[in-house]
Amino acid sequence: MDTPARLRPMLRAAAIMLATAVAGPALTGTALAADPIRIGSVVSATGPAAFLGDPEAKTLKLYVDELNKKGGLLGRPVELVLYDDGGDANKARTFATRLVEDDKVVAMVGGTSTGATMAMIPVFEEAGIPFVSLAGGIEIIEPVRAFVFKTPHTDKTACQKIFEDMKARGITKIGLISGTDGFGKSMRNQCLKVIGQYGITVVADESYGATDSDMTPQLNKIKNTAGVEAVLNPGFGQGPAIVTRNYAQLGIKLPLYQSHGVASKSFIELAGPAAEGVRLPAPAILIGDKLAAVDPQKPVVAEYKTSYEKATGQPVSTFGGYGYDGIQLVARAIASAKSADPKKIRDALEATKGYVGVTGIYTFTPTDHLGLGTDSFRMLEIRGGDWALEAPAR
């Protein structure tokens, strides 16, 4: 017999590949004997968005361990099934299918970028499994989808906060320099939508690529544009740090506004002395120690900061905070639903009222699956190499 001999190695190869594909997924968290409650996650732990996905992944692992130390949920251990999409929406989609079909998760916390989140939404909507996204885009929750929630502020809220501050300082003409990554583009669009309400106009509109290492040409154009009174830089990653440095290099004296996309201590380190005087909207987590003693977020923020920095040796960022709020919201929902049934978890999530997180205070409703207002942002200014709290818009 000729053919079988020819086919055998191929079939064997195919069989091995399938067998290995079936083999165990990455399990994290304490492996306990009882039937665990499985929570899924897909984040960009590597790739261009790794600086977001990495703290998210670390936070999720940390707090699932924490949950298990306290005896898990509903008397059952909690298991985190975490995958890395490497920043590729196609891979994210595949992992989402895997979480639903193969790992049988009851809830999902993840989706580092808006693109990855949008790619995964249909999978969880069809399966009827609640999905708490960690990405910023407004289209994730507008229109409202039954099973999709998110923890980060939308870019629109950040724009409003910034424009409120500009208006209070009497600024009416600004220059924009935006990153062309998903975050920068989305925020630029949202800002342009609401800017009219504050009587502010954009007189210079520049952009830079996500991996660019020199933004002096663009800033030079803004510098030479007549009438600019302040500059706003929607973007995240290393771009804003380079913009800030080039801004100082060109000796531009106008106020510089950054977005919540740079809200981590590493921005101050990367931008160096050039960061002095930069203003940005940011959640409470960055200024935990400067919050008023009566601030309800103070203890939550302090606890997260201590735990995260002890476990990872790295400074906290808002991005890890999104993960913290995501996993806490799901854990609370499972506890209050007294069930690990995805539909009941969803209902309990939507009924969340006044959950005090590190990003803000969340109240979900059937028409609002974000549940944060502009008051969850604080206007900060960088002074003496540290964050300083600005008084609310004067």
Partner 1 sequence: MKAVLRSRLTPLLALALVMALVPMIAPTSFHLRVAALVWIFALAALGLTILMGYAGQVSLGHAGFLGIGAYAVAIGPARLGLDPILCLVLGAVLAGLVAYGVGRPILKLKGYYLAIATLGFGVIVALVLHSETELTGGPDGMAVSRITLFGWRVTGALNWYWVSAGALLVGALLALNIAASPTGRALRALHDSEVAAAGAGIDVSAKKLAAFVVAAVYAAVAGGLLAAMNGLITPEAASFSHSVELVAMVIIGGLGSVFGTVLGAAFLVVLPQTLTAFQEYEQAVLGLLIMVFMIFLPQGIVPSLRALIEERLP
Partner 2 sequence: MSEFLQLAFSGLTVGAIYALIGLGFTLIYNASDVINFAQGDFVMIGGMGTVFLMAAGLPLPVAALIALAAAVLVGLLLHRLAIEPARGASPVTLIMITIGASIFIKGVSQIIFDKQFHSLPAFSGDTPIPVGGATILPQSLWVMGTALALVVALYLFLEHTLVGKAVLATAANRLAAKLVGINVALVLALAFGLSAAIGALAGVVATPITLTRYDIGTLFTLKGFAAAMLGGMGNPVGAVVGGLLIGLIETFAAGYLSSTYKDAVAFLMILLVLLFLPRGLFGSRSVERV
Q: For residue 180, which amino acid is it?
A: T
Residue 111 makes contact with partner 1 by CB under 8 A: no
Please, what is the minimum distance in Å from the beta carbon of residue 17 to partner 2? Answer: 19
- Give the dihedral sign, CA 250/256/260/265: positive
Residue 236 makes contact with partner 1 by CB under 8 A: no
Q: Which of 36, 53, 55, 115 binds partner 1 (CB under 8 A)?
A: 115
In terms of Cα–Cα distance, which of 357, 156, 90, 141 is closest to 132?
A: 141
Write the DSSP symbol of residue 390: P
Helices (H), the chain: 3-22, 50-69, 89-101, 114-127, 155-168, 182-194, 216-223, 239-249, 265-271, 297-312, 318-337, 342-350
Q: Which one of 3-11, 164-172, 261-269, 330-338 is the stretch in contact with partner 1 (CB under 8 A)?
A: 3-11
Please, what is the minimum distance in Å from the beta carbon of residue 144 to partner 1? Answer: 16
**Rounded to whole angstroms, how far apart are CA atoms 309 and 297?**
18
Residue 153 makes contact with partner 1 by CB under 8 A: no
Q: For tokens 């059952």, what's the residue?
A: 76
The torsion region of residue 170 among left (phi > 0), alpha (psi -120 to 50) and beta comes to left
Please, what is the minimum distance in Å from the beta carbon of residue 117 to partner 2? Answer: 20
Element at 178 (helix H, strand E): strand 173-179
Residue 393 makes contact with partner 1 by CB under 8 A: no
Residue 122 makes contact with partner 1 by CB under 8 A: yes
Q: How many residues does the chain have?
A: 394
**Rounded to whole angstroms, how far apart are CA atoms 389 and 272?**
19
Residue 313 makes contact with partner 1 by CB under 8 A: no
11 binds, among partner 2, partner 1, none (CB under 5 to 8 A by kind): partner 1
Q: Which residues bind partner 2 (CB under 8 A)?
A: 45-48, 50-51, 53-54, 180, 206-209, 211, 213-214, 216-218, 220-221, 224, 237-238, 241-242, 245, 248-251, 266, 269-270, 272-274, 314
31 binds, among partner 1, partner 2, none (CB under 5 to 8 A by kind): none
**312, two tokens:** 């990872």
Q: Which one of 30-38, 87-95, 147-155, 264-272 is the stretch in contact with partner 1 (CB under 8 A)?
A: 87-95
Q: Which one of 88-96, 211-219, 321-329, 354-362 is the stretch in contact with partner 1 (CB under 8 A)?
A: 88-96
Query: Would you say 68 or 114 has its CB closer to partner 1?
Result: 114
Q: Which of 55, 87, 237, 321 binds partner 1 (CB under 8 A)?
A: 87
**166, two tokens:** 């500009």
Q: Which of 44, 59, 91, 324 binds partner 1 (CB under 8 A)?
A: 91
Q: Which of 30, 172, 189, 374 binds partner 1 (CB under 8 A)?
A: 189
Please, what is the minimum distance in Å from the beta carbon of residue 87 to partner 2? Answer: 10
DSSP calls for 295-328: -THHHHHHHHHHHHHHHHSS--BHHHHHHHHHHH
Cβ burial 149-186 (10 Å sphere, 16+ → b, else e): bbbbbbbbbbbbbbbbbbeeeebebbbbbbbbbbbbbb
**Rounded to whole angstroms, how far apart are CA atoms 337 and 74?**
10
Query: Would you say 43 or 301 has its CB closer to partner 1?
Result: 43
Residues that bind partner 1 (CB under 8 A): 2-3, 5-7, 9-11, 13-15, 17-18, 20-26, 28, 45-46, 83-84, 86-91, 93-94, 97-98, 100-102, 113-115, 118-119, 122, 137, 139, 180-182, 185-186, 189
